[in-house]
Amino acid sequence: MNKRKFLKNTVIATTGMTVAPSVLLSSCKTDTKKEETTETAAVAATSFTLPEIHYGYNAFPDTIDAMTMEIHHSKHHQGYTNKLNAALKEANISGKTIEEILTMDNLPTAIRNNGGGFYNHTLYWDILTPGSEGMSESLKSHIIKDFGSEEAFKNQLAEAGAKRFGSGWAWVCQDNDKKLHICSTPNQDNPLMQVAERMGTPILGIDVWEHAYYLKYQNKRGDYLQNIIKIINWDKVASRMS
């Protein structure tokens, strides 16, 4: 993909998101002064706050244990958030959305790692649900068009997570031409970043760092991947598509 073109479109997409606020966007609000509208908060963001998990830490007893959920959110995600804010202050960056920050050229390492960590986990919590109801017919037909079948799509997603060496993420992204693709990034990188092998707009992200599954699954990352795909909020995923 032409990176310059993608960047332009991403910024436009970000503006679009202010019309339809999501958990992701609400997490981007500044904790200073005025927050009358989500739009103001998104544009004026200088400091990011940890988003709440509305379904709680005990939502997925068969899939992700409560202790993993709590540590992951209150320690790891909080840590990325705090370090991102410190790094932004250090770099004197303000007034940008998290998407605008992550698509910048030559991101300082601390912002790349912690900004990625902040954004990636916000997306992760947002697209999980204890009451997963399967895909709408419209999403299913889009997925069948791009991947052949729902099963092939889920297999490819699980494989992307399983094959990631070390720590990282498996993603479903949308291209500028609206086509969906699956990819993976190392560490806390994501497909918004210029360093990504393949850029795109993330609509679903699965954390495959050991901290996401090790207490319950130990070395069995494949089992975690099979199970987590069963608790995806497909309507939320679809709502992130343009």
Whole-number minimum distance, CB 131 to Mn ion, in Å? 23
29/77 with CB nearer Mn ion: 77
Q: Name the segment binding Mn ion (CB under 5 A); options: 28-36, 46-54, 201-209, 232-240.
A: 201-209
Joined tokens for residue 98: 């998290």
Q: Name the segment binding Mn ion (CB under 5 A); options: 49-57, 149-157, 169-177, 205-213.
A: 205-213
100 binds Mn ion per the rule CB under 5 A? no
83/140 with CB nearer Mn ion: 83
Whole-number minimum distance, CB 117 to Mn ion, in Å? 7
Whole-number minimum distance, CB 207 to Mn ion, in Å? 4
126 binds Mn ion per the rule CB under 5 A? no
Q: By the criterion CB under 5 A, which residues form the site for Mn ion?
A: 207, 209, 212
